[in-house]
Chains A and B, each alone.
Chain A
Amino acid sequence: MTAGKPQLRSLPIVLFLTLVAVLPAGAAKKQSKKPEPPPVTLQLTTGSPEARKLVEKALAIYLDQVEQTQAIEMLHKAVSLDPAFAMAHELLAQISLDSAEQIAEQAKAYNYREDVSAPEREVIEWYQDAYDHKLLSAITRMNDLLSQLPHDKTVVWMTTWWLTTQQQYDRSIAIYERSGINDSPGLLNNLAYNYAYVHRFDNAFETMDKYIAALPKDPNPQDSYAEILRMAGRYDASIEHYHASLAIDPEFYSSQFGIADTYALKGEEARARREFEAGFRRFTVPEQQRVLWRTREAATFVREGDFDWADRAFQAIADDAHAHHISLAEADTYRQMAMYQEDASHALQLLSKAEAAAAAGENTNHTAIQQVTAQILRARVEVAIKMENTNVAQSSLDALTKMSEDAGDAVIDLAYNGALGAFLVSQQKFAEAMPHLEEDPNNPLSLKLLAIAYGKTGDAAAADRAVDLLSNLNDPTLEQALIVPAFRQCAHDPACGGSVKNASIKAPHTL
């Protein structure tokens, strides 16, 4: 049923509604018999007292000491003591570092959900709905759980963190602030990042000070503080905190690479490479992270505009990945090489290599192959736009559209929206492009095009906001290297030609 046709009919003033709204929900029940107070914490259902203790301890270690690995070990013990402990399975699904285990544990939690308390069941069904892409139901369940247990540390952690992953930073902050919880280092860490994501850096720093005070002998607070300072563009202070982290724990290798990343953003590329090399010499780094940081090191050449050396560095990574049968790392390395090529034909050749590597699919799974393939198709669209080859752009976009429709995968959807938004901008269809680009705001290229589209459609305030965000984007990725430094130079320079070198896109630049 839809709303009826307009009818002119006066309404009584409903002032009482405003009063109702500000009354506590329970005010009307004041005269009634005192009800049984509901539990104020999440009750864990298990037949094993020992397993319950382990889960409680795992949560304490995870939230109060930010020790994920130890917490996971305890949860493993708990589910071995009580294989039907639904909430232990759910927590394992949430914090495990093994993707296959996450999926398996979620399935177990869901299977055992019938015999648990209502709040526990709400938790499990909320996450299951999220997993099944039933987001409206997931949101409803989450809020219903929160309304029952708004001050429970575990519930507040689960809700604020999930909202962070959904990029709902303001709501995540609001829930934390209303919870009254101020003694959980884990929550402080998360809260500080949320403040930083919405550019409330003063709040973020204040929160970080509390986090450091809570865990003065732990390197992670210093490392987190350093990362947030870097996000704020305070590079020197960031490096100081990374060094403080290493002083506490010389084996905390992410801080060493954090220093390298920060020098890269600061524009000291040779120093950044020395720091990366020092890190690789000193630490044995998990292979995925090693690839990540080698890629960042290669990107320092792109930042310098030295594309020959960039090619050598990226090619070495691709060869290494090929030799170790890490197909997707090889594929993505070729994709990144394509992104900075000035010769579009060569870029397309590199993308063909990327597709071949992805298709080889060694040591990976179908979902990951699909996701990388989507990124490659997106790059094809961008290169084709640069070449002004509408046919290639359209055919790549068609393939990406089909993937997006078939897969229902967030990563693929981002690639699709970014590519379509870029294509529409290249066609001067700014208003049509905006909703797609808004879906992909992590990507500096999409953010830049969004600023252009806002400007072209007359929304100057939104354009200014996007320009400001892009100019202050301090993320050590190749995408940032390609877009942001040149954008900063151009944004406030009327003499600038407007085209950002190697930005892989041609669009009218009005900024």
Chain B
Amino acid sequence: MLKFTNAFALKARVVTGLLFLVSAPCLIHAKQLAIVSDKANAATNLKAADLASIFNARMRTWQDGKPITLVMRDPGSDDVQLILHRILNITSDQARALIQAHPGVVVVVDTDDAVQHVVSNTRGAIGIIDLYSLTNNVNVLKIDGKLPLEPGYILKGN
């Protein structure tokens, strides 16, 4: 028996007492990703198409001329695969080839903490992280006008 209860996320279970409405915790859960930037970056929104262009090295600077660096985990990681599938429609191997073909555009690190560390210390950098790793060292960018968890936000899925 999972004894621990929680006031908020399990509010429905506890507030209503409607145990019969609640099935088992889900076994397939939607990943929520965030695109983050350094705190000094004035950008608040990014088009999904721009994200694809950044990855493809077709878009390399911000409007003010600052270079764009994309920081992320290995293309084989679940989170990055989601982006590759949703935004670029390419495989992990194709992504690795793209990264090798355009050195310096994409920086690959091991963890979400490392992504945020690099982004927060690199003017013009943006990073891809699991939303639930978010810290206050970075800003969250809207994608096509939507923040993570808002209806219609594109960077979520399985």
Cα separation A475 to B132 with both chains bound (whole Å): 27
Cα separation A13 to B26 with both chains bound (whole Å): 43
B104 engages A11 (CB within 8 Å) = yes
**Residues of chain A lying within 8 A (CB to CB) of residue B58:** 6, 8
Total A-B pairs in contact (CB under 8 Å)? 250
Residues of B in contact (CB 8 Å), total: 77
Q: B-facing mask of A1-37, CB < 8 A → 1, else 0?
A: 1111111111111100110111001000000000000
**Residues of chain B lying within 8 A (CB to CB) of residue A99:** 11, 14-17
Cα separation A95 to B118 with both chains bound (whole Å): 38
- Chain B CB within 8 A of A139 CB: yes
B16 engages A441 (CB within 8 Å) = no
Cα separation A7 to B148 with both chains bound (whole Å): 28
Residues of A in contact (CB 8 Å), total: 104
For B16, give the chain A residue with the smallest CB separation.
A368
Q: B-facing mask of A356-374, CB < 8 A → 1, else 0?
A: 0000000011011001100
**Residues of chain A lying within 8 A (CB to CB) of residue B117:** 20-21, 25
CB contact under 8 A between A168 and B12, given known A3-B68, A11-B67, A17-B118: no
**Residues of chain B lying within 8 A (CB to CB) of residue A103:** 7, 15
For B51, give the chain A residue with the smallest CB separation.
A3
B28 engages A169 (CB within 8 Å) = no
A473 engages B18 (CB within 8 Å) = no
- Chain A CB within 8 A of B130 CB: yes
Contact partner of A131 among B7, B30, B64, CB < 8 A?
B7
For A94, give the chain B residue with the smallest CB separation.
B7
CB contact under 8 A between A288 and B17, given known A6-B59, A22-B110, A465-B158: yes
A130 engages B8 (CB within 8 Å) = yes
Contact partner of A447 among B28, B135, B147, CB < 8 A?
B28
- Chain B CB within 8 A of A291 CB: yes
Q: Least Cβ distance of B111 to chain A in Å?
A: 8
Cβ < 8 Å to B, chain A residues 302-340 = 328-329, 332, 336
Contact partner of B12 among A8, A371, A450, A466, CB < 8 A?
A371
Q: Least Cβ distance of B17 to chain A in Å?
A: 5
CB contact under 8 A between A9 and B45, given known A93-B7, A199-B27, A254-B1: no
CB contact under 8 A between A3 and B26, given known A96-B7, A136-B134: no
CB contact under 8 A between A11 and B24, given known A168-B29, A371-B16, A438-B157: no
Of B9, B11, B20, B69, chain A has the most CB atoms within 10 Å of the CB of: B20
A13 engages B9 (CB within 8 Å) = no
CB contact under 8 A between A127 and B149, given known A4-B62, A168-B132: no
A12 engages B104 (CB within 8 Å) = yes
- Chain B CB within 8 A of A426 CB: no
Contact partner of B63 among A1, A94, A140, A189, CB < 8 A?
A1
- Chain A CB within 8 A of B60 CB: yes
- Chain A CB within 8 A of B121 CB: yes
Cβ < 8 Å to A, chain B residues 71-124 = 71, 85, 103-105, 107-110, 114-115, 117-118, 121-122
Cβ < 8 Å to B, chain A residues 77-136 = 93-97, 99, 102-103, 106, 127, 130-131, 135-136
**Would you list 9 pairs from A and B whose C-beta atoms are within 8 A, ordered by A residue?**
A4-B64, A5-B59, A13-B104, A130-B9, A161-B6, A328-B18, A371-B18, A465-B158, A475-B23
Known contacts A193-B25, A434-B157, A438-B157; can you find 4 more A-B pairs with CB under 8 A? A68-B5, A161-B6, A368-B15, A438-B158
